[in-house]
Amino acid sequence: MNQVRMGQTLHTPSKVVCIGRNYVEHIEELGNEMPESMVIFNKPNSAVTDTLRYFEPQTRFEGELCLLIEKGTIAGIGFGLDLTHAETQNRLKAKGLPWERAKAFDGAAVLSDFVPFDGTMERLRFTLHRNGELAQEADYQLMIYKPVQMLKEIQSFMTLEDGDIIMTGTPKGVSTYAKGDHFEATVYDGDRKLLSHSWTCR
């Protein structure tokens, strides 16, 4: 089973719960409809990795603030790249079919280490640089659904096990990527850096 680290502890997520269409400008950049309710889908443990791999020309990166769950509440903060086979997803969406082939493949949840967090969610923000240039940035205020709302909605129909992860959605700036691309993610609590993590695509 694949694991993630928080401090000195390794956690084994049974699943990664993803929130789709959670930033208005991202919805607009992809030409999607504004959701009437929270869009939720899962990635299995086999999708979890700390390595960014190249898959195909139309695979897209989506940078996201991530939450690690313990005892039913948010215990840690991390960052992740939600990888998407874009053309496959478009075909599935056009037919009204589920997204697993496009979103839940092995290696599709590229995750940083996590840091313990009991601070103020409203102060969270992040940046993602690709090859030294800013690719994505967002803060708490830009989220349509906030972390506490996500937790409540998910738990209304699904049990979150210790070590499970919530990926909170991506802002505008998603794109395809290439071998050798270097990504640097930084998460802040206000002006204080909580964590930084980098990946170079293999």
Percentage with pLDDT > 90 across the chain: 90
pLDDT value of position 131: 98
pLDDT value of position 140: 96
Q: Residue 67: which residues within 8 A CB-CB, separation 6 or more?
A: 74, 76, 77, 78, 147, 150, 151, 165, 166, 168
pLDDT value of position 24: 80
Nearest-10 Cα torsion for 111, 148, 70, 167? -20
Per residue in 73-130, pLDDT tens? 999 999 999 999 999 999 998 999 999 999 999 999 999 999 999 889 999 999 999 9
pLDDT value of position 36: 87
> Distance between CA 202 and CA 53 in Å, rounded?
5
CA 141 to chain centre: 17
pLDDT value of position 87: 95
Residue 31: left if φ>0, alpha if ψ -120 to 50, beta else—which one? left
Domains of the chain: 4-200 (3.90.850.10)
pLDDT value of position 59: 98
Tell me the pTM: 0.96
Largest CA distance in the chain: 45
Closest CA relative to residue 80, chosen from 40, 41, 117, 107: 107
> Distance between CA 50 and CA 80 in Å, rounded?
9
Q: Around Cβ 141, how many Cβ atoms within 10 Å?
A: 9
Tokens 């940035």, located at residue = 137
pLDDT, one tens digit for every residue, the chain (202 residues): 999 999 999 999 999 999 998 988 876 777 777 888 999 999 999 999 999 999 999 999 999 999 999 999 999 999 999 999 999 999 998 999 999 999 999 999 999 999 999 889 999 999 999 999 999 999 999 999 999 999 999 999 999 999 999 999 999 999 999 999 999 999 999 999 999 999 999 9
